[in-house]
Every structure is written in structure tokens, then in C-alpha cells.
Chains A and B, each alone.
Chain A
């Protein structure tokens, strides 16, 4: 049984190989990856365009950091389901993101189980 049922997903990460990995993972689990952004600015543009049901957001990226992307998105679309997926493990960053509205925060390295567990919780999938 796959976790997803066609929900649209936007993947944001500056590393192509990380994007590819998440892409495969989501596609395998029945999600529909509708877009991939490689920096913060592209993330905002693609989010506006695609209005994904779920977004995974890296933090350290060119142009605009994930935390800033999160701030902007939460301000405009407070109901967005955003999972931070980063190797930043600094407690303050983690808290900051959760406080301003990220649903979940997973720290690299993550595996399929960890990602899907976070996805379930973020989307309230039983």
C-alpha cells in the first residue's frame, strides 16, 4: 500500500541528487511530484504556479534560504503543508521553522521511512 494517493508535491533542494532521491521516493509512494526547485527564488515561483499539496524544503540554498521561503509562504498561504528537509540540525533553526508553521522537520540523512512518517503526519494520513 502506498502512502500517497496522487497528492501533488513540490521538491526544493539545491542538490540534483537529493531532488532525484526524493522524487523517486514520492513517485514510488503514489504521490505526484509536480515540480522541483533548485533555489529559494525558484521555490517561490513554482509554489505560486503549482500550489502543491505538499512541499519539502531544504534550507541552505542559493539566492534565498529555505527559512525565508518558509516565512514568505506561511505569510501568504498559512495552510501550506511544508516539511523542512535539511542537514541544518541547529536547534534554534528547527524551532524557528516549526514555530512559524513548518509541519515537520527532518534532518539529513533521512530514509524512506522517516520521510513517509513525516509526510503522514503533515498530511494527516492514517
Chain B
């Protein structure tokens, strides 16, 4: 190819993206087609996509996709001309799905092996499968022709019995029909090149009508009316067959001749393909003489006009390597740390007695910089966002495949495709959703019979709704199946040793519902290869926890189950607002999102029990986590900064004279717990660094560290782990 190689290499990525998108579109359209096989809009769209796929794959020398798409395009073209084919051969949809899977596989392999473009044995087998299907369709039509021919033989034998009727007209019809049939039979041989153009269903109808009427003639029971009907049916049959062989094939040859003249006049690029095409076509025509090739373009174009395909918004985009964006973010993270240094400098300046005007200017500049950096960070985060559709478009196919496999009927509705989500969340969210949707179809939905017995529509619903909340994305997967059988789940959990028999009796429903997320639980007596044995749900939970995701289950036994995932948007940010606190000599920070409230309590109001300290706050008993005891720190209350380091202390820091400071944690349960701090040092933005060393990851109550503006390293408390302690 003389389009420069660099150009091609650059465009190749784009090509692959385009094919991936086409594959998703095809998947969804196939799901639609399966539900409504007569949708000519969908059929044409599928044809068009196969055609495009063939075209662009040829350009990039991806022969395997080009070849397969070409054959599927042929198949779609047959269906486009005769919708009834799909009703007769519903398995074609499976074939198309399979083709799509092969495309997907090829594109995936091309990632690692750019040379994976030729046909493999599997591909050839698939082509043979398509060919077999095409042959079947053609053969079916020729069988029809055969039966029509037999019918006409009978008819000729019966002619004497029809003397009183309008025999002349009938004879004429029959002669013409016979001619048509002769031509149609010829077509059978050239089935690959020559496509049938008549409507099989109509043909069958008229043949049946004629058969019935002929039976009457044979029995001598035919009336005048019957004879008229017979003539009508014969006319229809003739008309249908005439479509196959109207024009004199010689005129086509002449037309082709014109074409060739036109070509040479225009000095057209007579490339190999064109020559071959015309050559084969001419020899074919000469060999078979009168058979016409008809590609009904007019019909296709009408379909195009009527189908108002929604115009896809054209977004001006550039492609940026994800790693580059991460690099930007990292730099911004460092900038944030630097701007914190500026904040600290303010305190040092103030201490050093710098001119108040200068200090004010400095503080303004420092605040502006800090704001700008936060805005910059937000913009970069937005760049990383993609639409939920990236995940969602996979689901109609998934639901279709699962429900088919296990003999259920399911319909999928999706709302919220445009909601943005951070790319880093994508994989985990998708994994979680696949599990949940799978379970909904496999465990949630009943079989069609069960549904009918329960007074529900035969076809179950699985709906995905994605909504954007102020600081979170909420994804809900709701089905109208049987819901969770909590007693069964609890029994299974006891059997598997996940809970004790005592717990089984006392466990509140809300907790029992969450059991579906624990490992090794599968309430279906027979584990299927779809939902597996419950392995995975726990993995889903662990992954979601990483993003501080929350799972909300709404179980309506007998009516359905809804599983909601709430993912805080802020958690994808690398920086967080955090409370800095001092415990003994040590400083820790605690992300603000874990803080419910900070309270000071007079020492005498804190009661000490064997199990630990508690205090009352707003009519609630709040227990106290003693970090010093927990972490084995010396039980002293010594302020930091003996070394002259600037203390992080906002004006808002609490005066703790005579009182104790407690940070009440935001827990996921109703029990309230708090951390006892010696001092709250302030609130600031921190850049979270995850532990890189395995040793640190095992630290029981921390989940990372941060670098303060003054260079100190501070551990970040993990509220979840503290609450579990």
C-alpha cells in the first residue's frame, strides 16, 4: 500500500477502535433483531455495518475480518430482500452472534500480534457454516420451485377437466409460469452468484392455494369461483416468478458491454478486481445464458429513507495515552504538596514577624495557587472520564446469552448511558455489574413457566439505571424475579460454616441479604456454569471497597431484587481533605469522609468499663477506640514540635482544656465509635500514597501515607479497619 506505512500504523489503532465499536453496535442490534426479526431497519443497519466492516478491513489488510464480514454481508443482503428468511431460520441470529465473537477475538489478538490477519482453520470453518446457511436458504427456495413444477405437471393432466372454463388464458399463464420455472430452476446452479428475488412466503401461499384448488378439481367439486381463484393464484405465482426472470439476459450482456465502453472512455482504473468481476460475470452469463442478476437497490434505498437513524453526535476528540494523563495527575499531586508548603510558610512568616501587608499578599497568592491547582486536578480528572455506555453496551448481549443458555426469557432496559465515570473505576465496576446482572438472570429471574404460574409476564426484566448524584454515581440493577429467599440463604450459610446456627436465628434481614456477597455461597441447589458457585461476589465486594463503594440491596421476595452500587466520585481523586490529629507524640491523618463529628467531652463524663470507655452524645452511647492502646504507643500527652518544626494548627483547632477530644467515625452500622485524640491539629488537603512495600500493606490500621508540606511523613488511618477492631 502506498499510503505511507506510518499513516497506516497510526490509523490502525483508530481502525481497531472503530471495529470494537461496530462489534458492540452489532451485538445490540442482534439482540433487537432476535426480539423483532421483522425489523427491516435493524436488518438494513446490520447489512450496512457488515459492509463497512468489510470495506475498512480490506483497507487495512485484515483479511480474516474482511472475508467473514463479506460473507455475513451476503447473508444479510439475502435477509434484507426477504424478511421471512429469519422467521424460517432463527438460528441465523446465533450465526451472526458467533461472527461477532470471532471479530472480537481477532481484534483482541491483533493487540499482541499485528500479523493475525489471515484466515485460520476456525475462520474457514465459520465461513463454511455461513455458506451452508446460505445454501440452505437457496435450496429451500428451489424446493419450492420443484414443488411448483410438480404442481404444474398435475395441472396439465387436469386441463381436460377444465374445458368449460377460461382455458385459453389459463393455458397462456401456465406456459409462462413454466418458462419462469425453468429459469428459476437454472438459478439453483448459480446460487452463489445469483440471488433469489421473490418473496418466498407469498410464493408458498399461492402454491398452497393452487394445491387446495387442484384437489377440488380432482374430486370434481370445483365451482366457477374456485376456477377464478385458481387463475388468480396462478397469476400471482407467475408474477412472483417473473421477478426472477423478467429481462432478457442478452440485454444485460449488452448493458455490460455499454459499461465496458464507458469504462474505457472514462479511462477508469481497471484494477484487477474490476476485470475479474466483469470477466467472471460475462462468462457466467454466457454459460448459463438467460439468467439475470438483480440486486434490488431500490428497495434498500427506500428502507434507508424511512429509517431515521439518530445522528451520532460528532465529538471533536484527540487521543491521549492514559499513562500520560496519569503522569499529569502525579505532577499535580506534587504541586498540591508544594502549595501546602506555601501554607506552612505563612505561619513561619507570621511567627518571624513579617510585615502584615506582605503576609496578606503572600496569603492571597498562595490561596490562588492552591485553588488553581485544585481546578487543574479536576480538569484532568474530567479528561479521564468516559461514559458509562462503555460498560453498559455489553449487557444486552450478556443477558441474551445467559437467558438463552438456561432457557429463560429476559429483556434488558438501560438508562443512563451518558453518565460519566472515571476510567480507573471502569474495570471494577464492570466486573461487579457482570456478577450482579448474571445473578439477576440466573438466580433472580424465574423460568417462563414459573413466571406464568406466578402471574407474571413470561419475559422477565432486568433493568440497569445509572444516575449521577452530587458526589457519587449510583448504579442500580433491578430484576422482577423471585427475589432473595433469606431463609434459604441463611441455611446455606450455616451449612458452609459462614455463620453459626445461633446467628441464623437472630440475624436481621439486612445482614442476611449481604450474605450473597460472601464467598462460597450459592443458593441455587444446582450450581450453573453461569453464576458459578458464588465465587466472585466477594471479590466484587473487595474491589468496590477499594473505591469506598456502598452496596444497597432492596429485596422484595417474590417480586424482584434490586442491587444498587453507590460509588463516591471524590474517591477517584488522589487527594482528599483530611483531619490531622495528634495521639501522644504521633501525628496521624484521617480522611474527612470518615469523620462524622468532632466533639469535646468533659473528662468526668467519660465512663470507663471493662470493655473500654464510652460517653453519651445526643442520647447515643458512643464507644471509644483508644489508639494509644491499640497501636502500643506510650500513654503520654506530649505536644509535638519540640524540634522547632512549625505546628500544623489552624485557628479553628479546638481548645481541649479539661476536656477530651473525640472524633466520631462515620460507620456503616448503627453502632457509634469514636477515636480519642490528644489534639486536633487541623484540616488540610493530603495526597494519598498507597503503600508500596508489602510489609506496610500488612499494617493493621492504616491504608497509606502522605507527605506533609513540611516534609514529614504521616500515616493515614483506615476507618473501616478501626471499626472492625
B269 touches A15 (CB 8 A): no
Docked CA distance A42–B311 (Å): 10
Contact at A65–B300, with CB atoms within 8 Å? yes
Q: Knowing A99-B262, A103-B266, A111-B2, say if A60 contacts B48 (CB, 8 Å).
A: yes
| Nearest opposing residue in chain B for A109, CB measure | B58
> Is B650 engaged at the interface, CB distance under 8 Å to the other chain?
no
Complex contact A91–B278 (CB within 8 A): yes
Which of B14, B54, B256 is close to A17, meaning CB atoms less than 8 Å apart?
B14
Q: In the complex the two chains form, is B48's CB within 8 Å of A39's CB? A: no
Chain A residues near B293: list those with CB within 8 A: 92
* The residue from A61, A94, A98, A112 contacting B3, defined by CB atoms under 8 A apart: A112
Give the contact stretch, choosing among A46-54, A74-82, A114-122.
A114-122
What 1/0 mask marks residues of chain A from 82 to 126 whose CB sits below 8 Å from any chain B CB? 000011111111110011000111111111111001100100000
Does residue A3 face the partner (Cβ distance < 8 Å to B)?
A: no
* A20, A61, A109, A118: the one within 8 Å of B11 (CB): A20
* From A86, A95, A107, contact of B271 by CB (8 A): A107
Closest chain B residue to A95 by CB distance?
A: B259
The residue from B277, B281, B297, B314 contacting A67, defined by CB atoms under 8 A apart? B297
CB-based contact A108/B59 at 8 Å: yes
* A108–B277 alpha-carbon span in the complex (Å): 14
Collect the chain A residues with CB atoms within 8 Å of residue B45's CB.
62
The distance from the CB of A55 to the nearest CB of chain B, in whole angstroms, is 16
A72 interfacial by beta-carbon distance below 8 Å: no
A79 to B39, CA, bound (A): 39
* Assembly CA distance A49 to B493 (angstroms): 70
Whole-angstrom distance between the Cβ of A56 and the nearest chain B Cβ:
13
* Chain A stretch 13-46: residues in CB contact (< 8 A) with chain B: 14-18, 20-21, 24-25, 38-40, 42
Chain A residue at smallest Cβ distance from B55:
A87
Label chain B's interface by main secondary structure.
Answer: helix
Interface size class of B (residues with CB under 8 A): 35 or more
Contact A25 B3 (CB under 8 A): yes
User: Once bound together, how far apart are the Cα atoms of A91 and B295, in whole Å?
Assistant: 10
Complex interface bits, B289-311 against A, C-beta within 8 A gives 1, otherwise 0: 00001010100110011001101
B482 contacts partner chain A, Cβ-Cβ < 8 Å: no
Q: Say if the beta carbon of B7 comes within 8 Å of chain A.
A: yes
**Cβ–Cβ contact A91 & B58, under 8 A:** no
Q: Is the CB of A87 within 8 A of B304?
A: no
| Closest B residue by C-beta to A58 | B55
Cβ-defined partner of A105 (8 Å) among B7, B51, B268, B300: B268
> Is the CB–CB distance between B273 and A89 below 8 Å?
yes
- B residues within 8 A CB of A106? 269
Residues of A within 8 A of B529 (CB): none
A108 touches B266 (CB 8 A): no
A98 contact from B255, B266, B301, Cβ within 8 A? B266
* B268 engages A104 (CB within 8 Å): yes
Q: Which of B295, B304, B312 has the most CB of A within 10 A?
A: B304
Residue of B nearest to A114 (CB): B269
CA distance A21 to B59 in the complex (A): 10
The interface residues of chain B lying within 8 Å CB-to-CB of A60 are: 47-48, 51-52
Give B51-88 as 1s and 0s: 1 = Cβ < 8 Å from A's Cβ atoms: 11011101101000000000000000000000000000
Which residues of A have CB within 8 Å of B271? 107, 114
Per the bound structure, the CA–CA distance linking A8 and B2 in Å amounts to: 23
Given contacts A15-B52, A21-B11, A89-B273, contact A64 B18 (CB under 8 A): no
Q: Shortest beta-carbon distance, A82 to chain B, in Å?
A: 12
Given A38-B314, A65-B304, A107-B273; A95-B262 close (CB under 8 Å): yes
Whether B1 and A24, one on each chain, are in contact in the complex, defined by CB atoms closer than 8 angstroms, is: no
> Which chain B residues numbered 1 to 50 have a C-beta less than 8 Å away from chain A?
1-4, 7, 11, 14-15, 18, 45, 47-48
Residues of A within 8 A of B18 (CB): 15-17
Residue of A nearest to B310 (CB): A62
Residues of B within 8 Å of A65, CB to CB, are: 297, 300-301, 304
Complex CA gap A17/B59 in Å reads: 10
Docked-complex contact A104 and B266, CB < 8 angstroms:
yes
Quote the shortest CB–CB distance from A17 to chain B (angstroms): 5
8 Å CB contact of B56 from A18, A111, A112:
A18
Known: A90-B295, A91-B259. A113 touches B2 (CB 8 A): yes
Q: Is the CB of B3 within 8 A of A118?
A: no
Question: Is the CB–CB distance between A91 and B281 below 8 Å?
Answer: yes
With a cutoff of 8 Å between Cβ atoms, the chain B residues found around residue A15 in the complex are 18, 52, 55-56
Choose among B269, B278, B295 the residue with the greatest number of A CB atoms under 10 Å from its CB: B269
A17 touches B295 (CB 8 A): no
B2 touches A87 (CB 8 A): no
In the complex, A103 Cα to B312 Cα: how many Å? 31
Closest chain-A Cβ to B257's Cβ sits at a distance in Å of 10
Q: Is B283 among interface residues, defined by CB-CB distance under 8 A? A: no
- Are A117 and B269 interface neighbours, CB within 8 A? yes
Are the CB atoms of B266 and A20 closer together than 8 Å? no
Cβ contact of A62, chosen from B4, B48, B266, cutoff 8 A: B48
Chain B residues, Cβ within 8 Å of A25: 3, 7
Q: Tell me whether B725 is interfacial, beta carbon within 8 Å.
A: no
- Asked whether A91 lies within 8 Å of B256 as measured between CB atoms, the reply is yes
Within 8 Å CB of A95, what residues of B?
255-256, 258-259, 262
Closest to B265 in A: A98
Residues of B119-134 at the interface with A, using a CB-CB cut-off of 8 Å, are none
Cα–Cα, bound, A111→B269 (Å): 12
In the complex the two chains form, what is the Cα distance from A39 to B314 in whole Å? Answer: 12
Which residues of chain B come closer than 8 Å to A62, judged between CB atoms? 45, 48, 304, 309
Cα separation A42 to B308 with both chains bound (whole Å)? 13
Cα-based distance from A87 to B278 in the complex (angstroms): 15
CB distance from A37 to the nearest CB of B (A): 10
Given A87-B54, A89-B274, A95-B259, does the pair A121, B59 have CB atoms closer than 8 Å?
no
Contact yes or no, B14 A63, CB < 8 A: no
Q: Hey, which chain B residues are within 8 Å of A17, CB to CB?
A: 11, 14-15, 18, 56, 59
Residue in B47, B59, B258, B273 whose beta carbon sits within 8 Å of that of A18 in the complex: B59
Complex Cα distance A114/B1, Å?
Answer: 10
Q: Does B267 contact A (CB under 8 A)?
A: yes
How many angstroms from the CA of A49 to the CA of B54 in the assembled complex? 31
What is the distance, in angstroms, from A112's C-beta to the closest C-beta of chain B? 5
A63-B300 Cα distance, complex, nearest whole Å: 11
A110–B59 Cα gap in the complex (Å)?
7
| Complex Cα gap A106–B311 (Å) | 27
Contact, CB under 8 Å: B3 / A87: no
Taking the closest CB of chain B, its distance from the CB of A29, in whole angstroms, is 11
B300 contact set on A, CB distance < 8 A: 65
Report the Cα distance A5→B565, complex, angstroms: 58
Residues of B within 8 A of A42 (CB): 311
Tell me which residues across on chain B come within 8 A of A117, comparing CB atoms.
269
- If A20-B11, A62-B309 touch, whether A87 touches B51 (CB-CB below 8 Å) is yes
- 18 pairs, A vs B, C-beta closer than 8 Å: A15-B18, A16-B18, A17-B18, A18-B59, A39-B309, A40-B304, A63-B304, A65-B304, A91-B259, A91-B278, A95-B255, A95-B259, A99-B262, A105-B268, A108-B55, A108-B59, A112-B4, A118-B269
A residues in contact (CB < 8 Å) with B: 14-18, 20-21, 24-25, 38-40, 42, 60-65, 67-68, 86-95, 98-99, 103-114, 117-118, 121
Beyond known contacts A21-B11, A103-B266: 12 more, CB 8 A cutoff = A21-B7, A62-B45, A63-B304, A64-B301, A64-B304, A65-B300, A92-B293, A94-B274, A106-B269, A108-B55, A108-B59, A109-B59
Across the A-B interface, give the 5 residue pairs with the lowest CB-CB distance, nearest first. A87-B55, A109-B58, A95-B259, A108-B55, A112-B2
